[in-house]
Amino acid sequence: MTHTMTQLSTAGDQREWRRMDEHLVSLVDATSYEADQYRTLRHALERTHATKKVIAVTSALPGDGKTTTAINLAGVLAQAPDARILIVDLDLRTPAVGDRVGLIAPSPGLVDLVFDPALTLDGVVRRHPQFRLAVLPAGRALTVPYEVLKSPRLGELLQLATRQYDYVILDTPPLAAVQDARLIADWVDGFVMVVAAHRTPRGLLEDALNVMDPAKLIGLVFNGAERRRSDYYHGYYYYGSSQGGRRATGWWRTGNGRGNGNDHAPQPSVLNKAVHAVLGSRWR
């Protein structure tokens, strides 16, 4: 196989890694049904949102499935021939990416990179020995990540990363609990909102969507949505958003098409349509 990218042409040091978490289906079970759902998301990114390279995976609350989704998304993107995919842990209070992808050795990460100008992106990023995936772990947890998240150096590093990688996938803090994710919004081209099916309260999801720029919404991922009919999905369900981009904040809330002031006929909001498609009417 030819490798066009020098960074990934040499696999990472095998001794730094252990087996991957089994929930990371796009990597450990690439032919599975669940992995197929992530491929739908990948295709949406590649076709509908081709200019978006820095993608944040976010959600309202801890435990919704952001880290799982972020790594799986990076994993399906990494299946493309000669893919250059970087996953970055920006959930600096509760970092998890390094551990979840199987990185054993405590290594320097994003926090070190931001604080120490002598470190370079290339020097700190770890390459997975088996997948075409590069990982920038958090490095260490911070109780107050504000300085790192608002630092211009973070913006520069992400810009540099977009020149070296096809996609930069960001695992991020929950939107409802803390301000952290709002600090990241400017660095991001697009975001994927993870919804823990039957768990994320609908009001909190709406609040979380209102934090982000609607033009940047790539879609919703319903994590843990159960199989209801043969054409619905167990595990993960992706609902793409190709509309709504220019609508006013809160367009998902309206449910009557008044969000952009132009529609005459009542239209269900994107959120209502997505929820109905995946969960029926049983969601709070």
**Residues that bind ligand ADP in the complex, under the rule CB under 6 A:** 23, 59, 62-68, 96, 223-224, 235
> Minimum distance between the CB of residue 232 and Mg ion, rounded to whole angstroms?
26
Q: DSSP letter for 175, please.
A: T
Identify which of residues 86 and 270 has a Cβ nearer to Mg ion in the complex: 86
Structure tokens, 125: 């990023």
> Minimum distance between the CB of residue 64 and ligand ADP, rounded to whole angstroms?
4
Q: Choose one: 24-32, 88-96, 244-252, 267-275; the region binding Mg ion (CB under 5 A).
A: 88-96
SS3 135: strand
Please, which residues have CB within 8 angstroms of residue 80's CB and are 6 or more apart in sequence?
132, 166
Q: Which of the residues 89 through 128 are near Mg ion (CB under 5 A)?
A: 91, 96
Q: How many residues bind Mg ion (CB under 5 A)?
A: 4
> Minimum distance between the CB of residue 217 and ligand ADP, rounded to whole angstroms?
18
Give the torsion through C-alpha atoms of 237, 242, 243, 244, to 10 deg.
Answer: 70
Residue 53, interface with Mg ion (CB under 5 A)? no
> Minimum distance between the CB of residue 72 and ligand ADP, rounded to whole angstroms?
9
Longest dimension (CA), the chain: 62
Residue 98 in contact with residue 21, Cβ under 8 Å?
no
Identify which of residues 12 and 224 has a Cβ nearer to ligand ADP in the complex: 224
The single residue among 37, 67, 72, 241 that binds Mg ion, judged by CB under 5 A, is 67
> Minimum distance between the CB of residue 278 and ligand ADP, rounded to whole angstroms?
13
In whole angstroms, give the CA distance from residue 148 to residue 27. 30
The single residue among 42, 49, 53, 66 that binds Mg ion, judged by CB under 5 A, is 66
HSE at residue 61, side-chain half, CA atoms within 13 A, is 14
Q: 């088996």: which residue's tokens? A: 130
- Dihedral sign computed on CA atoms, order 133, 108, 19, 191: negative
Identify which of residues 66 and 126 has a Cβ nearer to Mg ion in the complex: 66
Residues forming the site for Mg ion (CB under 5 A): 66-67, 91, 96
